[in-house]
Structure 1
């Protein structure tokens, strides 16, 4: 595998990231670079370190070694409010100790722009309802979050992330719980928004369809990276997942995977 070309002054870069739990190494010197305006996908089997890497980027986990830069600034030098103005998150699991309405959940995306005890204004509500419309949930604003299906909850969380109005977004398996219609809708929305995204993607066909660059991880290391056709190959699928596959292309030249 060729050396990963990382630019430190723009985009999101993770350099030599190492994470361990006790004596077990979870990430072993991982490098990735998410270029501005592109969707960077991360694929790999369960336990490969995808979610751990993303948690380091959105600061719920601190790496033992290595640095993470956003637009040339080390995240460790940023306040959490400052980094929340640059980076929003759609995590894999989203639960709350108290029940909130859909509107209240999405309004949380405006918190990085508020002073202590400052109330939401008309602009905040306009942004919230625009984001709910984008994910197809504008009629759900007064519903309680706990009454929604897993797929509907995931779309609410995406609306909250969009309401932050950030340049970057991190998505940990964003299409989990979604039917195929909403999988395509959500990924197309992210693609067309122009937002720079780093996404752990479980579905290889979704990754091939929407990701500009893909990193393949196994055992806490990057084992391949490049465009979809360079990374999603029968050889890599066998290496990562231990299954046989066949690669076909549709009329637009997009890669699709058939599992044998």
Structure 2
């Protein structure tokens, strides 16, 4: 456990002090101008009782623009997430952290990085700097659907259940305590915040920093989503 916490603190340190490489290569981004159609008779439950959104979840039709993005991130690897797609908002490539580098976050534009350590706690984490792809996370709202695209073309939808915002009380320290900006009576240590966010079976979490008062790492934003509707095979290729 202490080794895992040390890895988490190293992640916070990277989020605090990461610097963009001067030779950043921009990843290709699909311009998403698509309308996803919902079928009224294909209902599925979310799999987390507190979501209570079963009547709003339905079968998703893969449209041509979404299929084009799926083709772009296709690798044939069913075990790896290669893309994130949000209707009328954005599409992002997904990079993987190198072995032994839990604090690595891609310096490329239009790219999120899967946080491997989240898998140890049953969730899926996606990290991005707030001056790159992470800036797009602020557009997301409760109830929107995020689509994870796997390397074999499989698409797994997630519905946003919660948006959490925390202020880092010592923004330049990896050991900072955090204040809940929506419930100022809640103070959490870095470790407690990690467990609250990532110790959730089957959840998807998008994380970036909140910039304020000229400080890039003033706070943290977490977009938390749960599975639903049902996964679909895009038949993209």
Q: TM-score if structure 2 supplies the norm length?
A: 0.28
**Which structure dedicates a bigger proportion of its chain to helix?**
1
Q: TM-score if structure 1 supplies the norm length?
A: 0.27
**Which structure dedicates a bigger proportion of its chain to strand?**
2
